[in-house]
Amino acid sequence: MNFISTRGEAPALGFSDAVATGLAPDGGLFLPEELPQFSGDDLKAFAGLDYPALCTAFFRRFATDIDDATFAAIVAKSYTTFSHPEIAPLVPLADNLQVLELFHGPTLAFKDFALQLLGNLYEHQCATRQQTINVLGATSGDTGAAAIHGLLGKPGTAIFILYPDGRVAPLQERQMTCTGADNVFAMAIEGSFDDAQTALKEIFADQDFRLSHRLSAVNSINLARVLAQCVYYLSAWLRLPADRQDNVEFVVPTGNFGNVLAGWMLQKMGVPIRGFKVATNQNDILYRLFTTGEYQVDRVAPSLAPSMDIQVASNFERFLYFSVGRDAARVREIMSTFKATGQYRFENFDADTFSASRCNDAEIPSIIKSVYDRYGYVADPHTACAFAEHDPDRLSVVLSTAHPAKFPDTIRAAIGVDPTHPSLEALKERPIIKHPVAATADAIRGFITERAL
């Protein structure tokens, strides 16, 4: 299978090359040339598989340039680091409400599902191509830690992660800065995640720099990230009662749109999911888009759910590509207007199967308390946003995106419980090693040039 850019001005690439490239040379995002379609028989065959086997079977439609045995071994290695035997357990809270727990990986966040796999894919590429690779990413909290732990100590790799200094949770910062690994560079910038992401995209647009430093992207602009996240939706859907599978809504806390886009893409591949609710915090560009048809940047307001403190949702471009009938020229026009003005109003906007909800900082603690009092369940601040509202007439599956122990202050204030996890407690004894860098492409290029492999 080949992968093409949403902007239509880059050559099609195979799976491994698209993964290694990350952002397309024309500034667009890679997508499959055609989405595969899963038949009813395919879904029945998937139903008996454990999580690694399901992931392997799903990816066989995409990673066609890696032999079956090799890819199965890469996948198996990726999920041995998860602490729960089901990898992504479903927890029933009520007849019409379940939670899909996605925090049992090594950094206690949903990003581990994709980034453990991506780290092992990078390791495979370094070994087979006899080349080093330098990985660059930006994070609002969880992506950085998961990306770092996916590449921790792997030969032939160096990883550079940008994060907004003082705007991630303290334990999220420690997960990035206390590894002690020589191939990890946590780069603290002044400003917001959007500032980091803007600089990152400028760097990837510099083709000479990208190629000379063998630079690859670890953010959800990388197609492997989104495809890996499709699998936990498929796994959850297969475990639902057969008579409820066609009336389920997944409720997804999201800032950069990659998490919920993965489920939507799976739906477009033939899995009959009823719909998706985009659950935002007070940085609500996606809520405003799906309720008004206007995509407009606002000021980033630091919140109790810091991983969602984003106003420019990168993965929206992939949804846009499908929404305009795969018209790359139209995508270029819309993205150019948005870059120049910070806004775009869609006439007759089709939200497809999406709805949206919004939750501000004043509401998050009360929602955490309500969920705890009603169900005895402890939700982290991001997951709490997904409990803001749900349709009682259909089955709702809330994606629980992070372990509550990563946000102890908020949990303690809301319900008087002090959540802990051994891996996080161990970090408190280690020194923080971070590198202050200006949030400019030039400063970041200079830092990478001095340390790249």
CA–CA separation, 349 vs 82, rounded Å? Answer: 40
**Structure confidence at residue 215 (pLDDT):** 94
In a domain, 64, yes or no: no
Among candidate residues 159, 69, 143, the one with its CA nearest the CA of residue 110: 143
Mean pLDDT of the chain: 95
Is 406 contained in some domain? yes
Q: How far apart are CA 148 and CA 210, in angstroms?
A: 20
What is the residue whose two structure tokens read 């239509």?
8
Task: Give the mean pLDDT of 32-49.
Answer: 96
Q: Domain range spanning residue 95?
A: 90-108+224-420
Token pair belonging to 56: 């392997």
User: Does the annotation mark 111 as catalytic?
Assistant: yes
> Which tokens hold the place of 138?
């930006």
Residue 184 inside a domain? The answer is no
Assign 285 a pLDDT band (cuts: 50, 70, 90): very high
Q: What is the CATH number of the domain that holds 395?
A: 3.40.50.1100
pLDDT attached to residue 183: 96
Out of 44, 77, 111, 406, pick the active-site residue.
111
Q: What mean pLDDT comes out for the span 136-146?
A: 91
Please indicate, yes or no, whether the overall pTM of this predicted structure exceeds 0.75.
yes
pLDDT band at 251 (very low <50, low <70, confident <90, very high): very high
Q: Is residue 387 part of a domain?
A: yes
- Please indicate, yes or no, if residue 271 is contained in any of the structural domains: yes
Does 338 map to a domain? yes
The answer as to whether 98 is a domain residue is: yes
Express each pLDDT in 54-97 by its tens digit. 999 999 999 999 999 999 999 999 999 999 999 999 999 999 99
Count: domains in the chain: 1
Question: Are residues 203 and 136 in contact, defined by beta-carbon separation less than 8 angstroms?
Answer: yes
Which tens digits make up the pLDDT trace of 95-115? Answer: 999 999 999 999 999 999 999
Q: Cβ neighbours of residue 346 under 8 Å, at least 6 residues apart? A: 293, 294, 295
pLDDT at position 389 over 90: no
State mean pLDDT over 417-445.
Answer: 95
Residue range 346-380, pLDDT digits in tens: 988 888 999 999 999 999 999 999 999 999 999 99
Specify if 350 maps to a domain.
Answer: yes
pLDDT 10s digits, 298-332: 989 999 999 999 988 889 999 999 999 999 999 99
